[in-house]
Amino acid sequence: MKALSHSPDNGVAHGGLGGAAQQSDGGWAIEAQGLTKRFGDVQAVNGIDLQVPRGQIFGFLGVNGSGKSTTVRMLATLMAPTAGQARVGGLDVATHARAVRRKIGVALQEVGLDALQTGRELLWLQARLHRVERIEDRIEKLLDVVDLERVADRRIGTYSGGMRRRLDLASALVHEPEIVFLDEPTTGLDPISRESLWRYVERLNQEDGVTFFLTTQYLEEVDRLAHDVAILHAGEIVMQGSPRELKASIGAEVVIVELSAEPNEEGIQILEALRGVKQVRTEGAQMSIDVADGSAAISSIVRALDGAGLAFGAMRISQPTLDDVFLRLTGDQPER
């Protein structure tokens, strides 16, 4: 794993927040060492080491099947690790599971709700089980935040997917946890609901210092929210750092070329052999060329394209995105 930054009090470089990570006591909200999960012959998670400072939004990025949800289930005490250790809120998840559950809120990928209860009843029961004081006030506030006041007394079975997702989030927050695990929280949400959820996560993080562990396949999500990101591939963390650091790691600039047709292997090899070119990636007829200096490289790229017989239309130089980082590290195409 490549770790680009890490210390609980390192003044983490931020994504889109402009710097809001809070370090209440200098400790880690989440720590894992050698965290491993095997299902028979399948190695779902392979020796993950992780340290998430308190008050941070931590993005856990990977495609389907990379081990994100399994990691969350182990950290949230829902699944025992095969090997390794994890501490959440300073407590060992194996030996102090019940105490850990008091500190955490979890919204899993599969929205787990009881269709026969009303939204209000579900929140009320969750609050009771968490022994929340002043339950009515808390529920009214949460219903307002997730914009479900009007449907709170309807049975959950009648809710839309977005409403269910928002109620699930509210139920994870009902006891005001200090650490929140959100497993692909915006999957299936419309853009407005997604924006609304992002704003709420930002607000809780900035105003209340809540730590978020956010798994997602949406790169723009971690780019917008996360202070730090770990990229998971085949059960292993392949890189960790702030979004800015991750982008900087793959080269200063990316030259994007719109070809008239998909390039052949020979053309790609010619470009890869150019001086200053770090990597060439293709997606259909689009070619992304990682270079140290885009302006300096562009003329030699044009000559190489002509030489290889690759006709092209538009060409532009851009700063690297997390998509570029992700593709370079995993070879997988993220969701858009």
Partner 1 sequence: MPISPSLYWLTVRTVREAWRQPGAEIGNLLVPLLVYAVILGAFQSSAEAAFGIEDYVSFQVPVVLLQAVTGVAGASGIALVGDLQSGYFDKLVLTPISRSALLGGRVLGDGVRSAMFAALLLAVGMAAGAELATGVAGAVVLITMAGVFGCGYSGVGLTIALRTGSTQAAQIGLVLWIPLLFLAPAFAPQEVFAGWLRGIVAVNPVTYLLAGMGALMVDGWELRPILEACAVIVGLSLLSTSVAIWSLRKQLS
Q: Return residues touching partner 1 (CB under 8 A).
A: 76-80, 98-99, 101-102, 104, 106, 108, 110-117, 121, 125-126, 128-131, 155, 171
Query: Minimum distance between the CB of residue 229 and partner 1, rounded to whole angstroms?
Result: 25
Query: Minimum distance between the CB of residue 335 and partner 1, rounded to whole angstroms?
Result: 21
Tell me whether residue 22 or residue 117 sits nearer to partner 1 (CB atom): 117
Query: Minimum distance between the CB of residue 177 and partner 1, rounded to whole angstroms?
Result: 10
Distance CA 210, CA 225 (A): 13
Query: Minimum distance between the CB of residue 192 and partner 1, rounded to whole angstroms?
Result: 25
What are the structure tokens assigned to 151, written together?
């449907």
Tell me whether residue 155 or residue 281 sits nearer to partner 1 (CB atom): 155
**Enclosing H/E stretch for 230:** strand 228-233
Nearest to 29 by CA among 12, 7, 51: 51
Query: Minimum distance between the CB of residue 178 and partner 1, rounded to whole angstroms?
Result: 14
End-to-end CA distance of the chain: 25
Query: Minimum distance between the CB of residue 124 and partner 1, rounded to whole angstroms?
Result: 9
Nearest to 2 by CA among 292, 279, 229, 327: 229
Give the orientation angle of helix 161-173 with respect to helix 119-129, to 10 degrees: 20
Express the helix, strand and coil content of the chain in percent, nearest 5 each. 35, 30, 35
What are the structure tokens assigned to 240, written together?
């960790």
Per DSSP, the three-state class of 205 is helix
Tell me whether residue 50 or residue 72 sits nearer to partner 1 (CB atom): 72
Tell me whether residue 4 or residue 78 sits nearer to partner 1 (CB atom): 78
Tell me whether residue 118 or residue 216 sits nearer to partner 1 (CB atom): 118
Q: Helical H runs in 174-264?
A: 191-208, 219-225, 243-249
Tell me whether residue 106 or residue 254 sits nearer to partner 1 (CB atom): 106
Distance CA 169, CA 66 (A): 23
